[in-house]
Structure 1
Amino acid sequence: MRTRDKRLAVLEMLDAGERGGGHGWVLDDQVPSAEQHGVEPVVGEGLAELADRDTRAELSALTSRPVRWAARLTPYGRDALLYAHTVPLPLSDRAEPAPGEQWVHLRPAQMDAVRRFVALDSDLAIPPADGLAERVRTADFSRPENRWRLCLTRQQITSVAYALYLYRLTCSEAEANRFARDYDVIYQPHPDTGVPTARYVTRGPGTPHAADPRTAQS
């Protein structure tokens, strides 16, 4: 059993013993000797405490028998146990997207690429769209989905596509291609000029159209 599993098992045992005892302590007649030794590591971590001589004397008088060992959780142990059994709050949309905005879900590798992009900021010839850095900074991460969630304008989405274009040139093509499938925009060389251009993919009838990256953010 892993250390954290052992720790949790001891905390649960102490918590159950305290609830059943009625006096706030887990006593020696509730815990076999071998398991009493198992409490020592969590005592050493400050998650539980052992009763001193005076406290054991009080417990002996209370129970009308000699109490040679007693333990209980500390506030830190209670917090650790509570934390272990608490399901993370589901991420909620802190605000509905404003007109012209939408929720964008980025894979971790995509988010890493965008973070590198916004870190460069004005050093780039085509800098991040206005407000993108702040949206990246305040993004939510959904563990069940394994996605970062950002509320972006179309201009910011196009800027993300440019970040993934740079990532495509230097690291991997996969993230830009996935983003294009999800959000209908990808940077590619223009077939006539060769200039990297944002191509907005239409689904259904019609053909893709393109925008020069120097004007896509204006």
Structure 2
Amino acid sequence: MKLCLIFVFLVLTSIHVKANEFHLGIWVGQAKTSLRGYDSTIISSNKSDTSYKLEGSYKLSDSLLIDFGYVDQGMGQVVLLNETLDLSSYHQKVREIAPVLANGFTFGSDYIFWQTETWSSSIELGLYVWESEIESRSDNDTLYTDFSGTDLYFGGVVSYAFTKHWNVGFNYRNYQLDQSIHEYSLGLVYRF
């Protein structure tokens, strides 16, 4: 909560002049989470996958940007030893344990706290409107469970401008779902 209040204070005290600059970026990285539970029948699990982001930003001032985008964090997986023939019971167990990596839309803001002609660093805070699907299979039967929600994310970006219009950057984000999702990504951003 203190982090949110500090962020709001920095944003409100930094709005000087409209810069009217639009940015469009594509990011590729790795999203990692943890299992949502434990069971002795776990054979294997995969709690990370390649993530993709397409994001746009509108620069309100020299230090404040408003962001919007789409994020696909890939899929997690868990394989359990099926001790029962009942698909419904098996699916319930998978549902309680499987790692959740999601996809959805983001809306947030970046506060640029350090900037030179070529380098910049910012912190970000926003909302993630997400959905995820858990699929469990046994023999020829498949069951699905859908999850969705709206949760906070926060993170930071370090970027380097190698031309007037092009930046490369490194981004860390923490999505605050029931099990946090940590995402590390590299991006290419075009400034209009």
> Which structure features the higher share of helix residues?
1
**Structure label with greater radius of gyration:** 1
> Under a length normalisation based on structure 2, what TM-score does the superposition of the two structures give?
0.20
Q: Whose relative contact order is higher, 1 or 2, with alpha carbons under 8 Å and at least 6 apart?
A: 2
Q: Which has the higher strand share?
A: 2
In the superposition, the TM-score normalised over structure 1's length comes to 0.19
